[in-house]
Structure 1
């Protein structure tokens, strides 16, 4: 079983050990809120939460799964190429009418409140699980949200690769008869080494504590790499 991110107390202890305190009200693995589903369809039963401490060295990370993605510029990369920077990571689909664009805008809003000298080390990775999301579609999505920064990777993955990544990130998705998707609205904060520090339900992204949580993650990275 792949362990879930640690509980509030575990995150707080880890944050303080790195010289900062994480935002405990926001950073958690929440079995209730983690069921936030899009389009009012259930994407399947949730696994029982596992709050055991993470075995950092042995645990798979988004950067060690061997998942290949196709970026909005058409380049195919392995997610391992993105290891080494603190990361906001989520999954989405470009034609989503509500939750996905809202999550994107909330991430952009949180970023806008963080000083530029702190943001330089942050990257945002959004991976689509929709096989209709070609590079042209993803590029249009990027432009529609005014995303110009090279720190953002907007990409798509094959159905199999999406399932593999979604299993690790706590994102479930299911294609509906009308071609849309039911999916979990979830954003993960991932340390530079790939360890998942926290799982944030989509509705919490508008909370000011989300921006504080990002800054805490960046502070941890700076403390680890002075």
Structure 2
């Protein structure tokens, strides 16, 4: 073997061995169950312009809905309903519940527009307002069972619903939003999910 190549091969072997050792020491990410919605690959940007993957929401119960910033009827009710659900949790559990509001209108709902919605509706700081890539909106709506249709005036007809996901992304419950006050049965399901996650 060429003596000039030998040190390079030795260095490469040591580097690969070190990488393998670090990989063995790293905690293994548990495999997602088959019915997890987080199997869907979708890219998102939040109201602070941070990028994340849809699967990054795993790890704690999540309250998820789809809305759009220019909606003046049902979307404000969705936000108020979700706020009321969170307020009805025992204090130690409130911060443990993830809340993600995903826009149906990424063309208009920039991170700045989503940040303005968060401010206008005074939602808690931990909420995430998420803008999917345009190609991912329909896929996210499909897994969340949200039906929507753009109208000629720019408004969007859509399902008004809160979806409760467990830490692995399985659907635990759904609540159709018809008013600002949440369904007591749904609040009970959220409490149970939070207790199970503790």
Q: Shorter-normalised TM-score: what interval?
A: 0.7 to 0.9
After superposition, the C-alpha distances for 1:6-34 in whole angstroms (9 at most, x for unaligned) are: xxxxxxxxxxxxxxxxxxxxxxxxxxxxx
Quickly say closer, same or farther: Cα 1:60–1:194, change in 2 above 3 A.
closer
Decide which of 193, 211, 220 is 2:187's aligned counterpart. Answer: 211
Decide which of 66, 74, 77 is 1:91's aligned counterpart. Answer: 66
Instruction: Tell me how large the CA RMSD over aligned residues is.
Output: 1.6
Measure how far apart 1:213 and its partner are: 1.9
- 1:108 alignment partner in structure 2: 83
CA distance in 2, matches of 1:170, 1:67: 16
Decide which of 111, 119, 126 is 1:143's aligned counterpart. Answer: 119
- 1:58 alignment partner in structure 2: 34
CA distance in 2, matches of 1:148, 1:216: 21
Higher CA-based Rg: 2
- 1:184 alignment partner in structure 2: 159
Measure how far apart 1:91 and its partner are: 0.6
Q: Does 1:154 align with 2:129?
A: yes
Unaligned runs of 5+ in 1: 1-55
Q: Secondary structure at the match of 1:170?
A: coil
Aligned pairs, how many?
165
Q: Secondary structure at the match of 2:178?
A: helix
Q: Is the 8 A contact 2:166 2:172 kept in 1?
A: yes
Unaligned runs of 5+ in 2: 1-31
After superposition, the C-alpha distances for 1:30-67 in whole angstroms (9 at most, x for unaligned) are: xxxxxxxxxxxxxxxxxxxxxxxxxx832341x22111
Measure how far apart 1:168 and its partner are: 0.6
CA distance in 2, matches of 1:111, 1:187: 12
Q: Does 1:171 align with 2:146?
A: yes
Quickly say closer, same or farther: Cα 1:212–1:59, change in 2 above 3 A.
closer
More relative contact order, 1 or 2 (CA 8 Å, 6+ apart): 1
CA distance in 1, matches of 2:162, 2:40: 18
- 1:29 alignment partner in structure 2: none
CA distance in 1, matches of 2:36, 2:188: 26
CA distance in 2, matches of 1:111, 1:193: 20
